[in-house]
Amino acid sequence: MPAPPAPRPPPATVDATLDLLTAQDYVADRRLATAVFLALKLGRPLFLEGEAGVGKTEIAKVLAAGLARPLVRLQCYEGLDTAAAVYEWNYPRQMIEIRLAEAAGGVAREALAHDIFTRAFLLKRPLLQAIDPDDGAPPVLLIDELDRTDEPFEAYLLEVLSDFQVSIPELGVVRAQVPPVVVITSNRTREIHDAIKRRCLYHWVDYPDALSELAIVRRKCPRAPERLAREVVAFTQRLRSMDLFKAPGVAETLDWAEALIALDRVALDPQTVADTIGVLLKYQDDVGALTPDVAAKIVADVQAEGIRL
């Protein structure tokens, strides 16, 4: 097995951070690069909040690739507990161990209890993996959609995030030799407790402006004709200024561009928009608000004016 590449040192300046993100095909604005740079430099978790589909999760992936570190991902959900997030004991193995000890006879209880609660019987879940990686390389830990979990888990996370350590009653405290790079994302379906935020660097990931979004489409969908790319971006940008229940994110823009490429379109027309709008808008009310007239008007507008700056 080839050895994993040695982790690269974190970038030394904001410009270097920007380069690192760009090299991984992530078009970041300078503010985001600054937040990332600070998180790496000060060793603080980076707390990213923003609407769905603006590229929050992607930042962690890009960082892992750019720094040549493994990515450990913890997807949050309601009722997430330590057994799923931190560690669990390997019960079948423990049971076999007990049986074996009994078969051999002369079991000393204390010794047995000591034997089956050791690292060999420990199953590491994402948080423990990030703190105590098997190969020693500090990973990038992505705690995704923290707003989906509940308050007890947030409270647990406090210990992990402030000291980068995990207490296991049977084993003691496991501390990170080198703290992992932590990225936390939230879609803001509820407010995260201030105590968590206080330990992090906060960054609100906004929808990109038209030029950045165009750059993203060019990078991520290189097959898109230039005219199509411009029109797609201009169209989504205008949709976002409408009063919608859920405005399309960058992920939707890219999906839409891909969909239009698959349909061999080189430019927008009202009929195509109507046929493919489900890629952009995911609520029936929003689809209903974009009547053929409105859609046709936006298309005409987009083709006359192009990208609005």
Residues of this chain that bind other proteins (CB under 8 A)? 14, 30-31, 34-35, 37-39, 41-42, 44, 47, 49, 78-79, 81, 89, 91, 94-95, 98, 101-102, 107, 109, 112-113, 116, 150-152, 188-191, 194, 197-198, 200-204, 243, 245, 285
User: Which residue, 189 or 241, has its beta carbon nearer to other proteins?
Assistant: 189
Is 98 buried (19+), middle (13-18) or exposed (0-12) by CB count in 10 A? middle
d(C-alpha 172, C-alpha 181), whole Å: 23
Q: What is the DSSP string of 56-75?
A: HHHHHHHHHHHTT--EEEEE
User: Which residue, 168 or 215, has its beta carbon nearer to other proteins?
Assistant: 168
Helix pair angle (250-262, 226-241), 10° resolution: 140
β-partners of residue 168 are: 172
Position 26, amino acid: Y
Find the shortest distance in angstroms from Cβ 262 to other proteins.
Answer: 31
- Is residue 62 within 8 Å of 21, Cβ to Cβ? yes
Find the shortest distance in angstroms from Cβ 305 to other proteins.
Answer: 28
Q: What angle do CA 240, 224, 246 make, to 5 degrees?
A: 20
Is 231 buried (19+), middle (13-18) or exposed (0-12) by CB count in 10 A? buried
User: Which residue, 34 or 212, has its beta carbon nearer to other proteins?
Assistant: 34
Q: Residue 261: how many CA atoms within 13 Å on its side-chain side?
A: 17
Find the shortest distance in angstroms from Cβ 202 to other proteins.
Answer: 5
Find the shortest distance in angstroms from Cβ 228 to other proteins.
Answer: 31
| Tokens found for residue 58 | 């992607």
- Beta carbons within 10 angstroms of residue 11's beta carbon: 20
Find the shortest distance in angstroms from Cβ 19 to other proteins.
Answer: 14
Find the shortest distance in angstroms from Cβ 56 to other proteins.
Answer: 13
User: Which residue, 41 or 218, has its beta carbon nearer to other proteins?
Assistant: 41
User: Which residue, 26 or 133, has its beta carbon nearer to other proteins?
Assistant: 26
Give backbone dihedrals phi and psi of 19, rounded to 5 degrees, phi first.
-60, -45
Give backbone dihedrals phi and psi of 175, rounded to 5 degrees, phi first.
-115, 145
User: Which residue, 8 or 190, has its beta carbon nearer to other proteins?
Assistant: 190
Find the shortest distance in angstroms from Cβ 303 to other proteins.
Answer: 30
d(C-alpha 153, C-alpha 213), whole Å: 35
User: Which residue, 188 or 219, has its beta carbon nearer to other proteins?
Assistant: 188
Find the shortest distance in angstroms from Cβ 98 to other proteins.
Answer: 6
User: Which residue, 151 or 226, has its beta carbon nearer to other proteins?
Assistant: 151
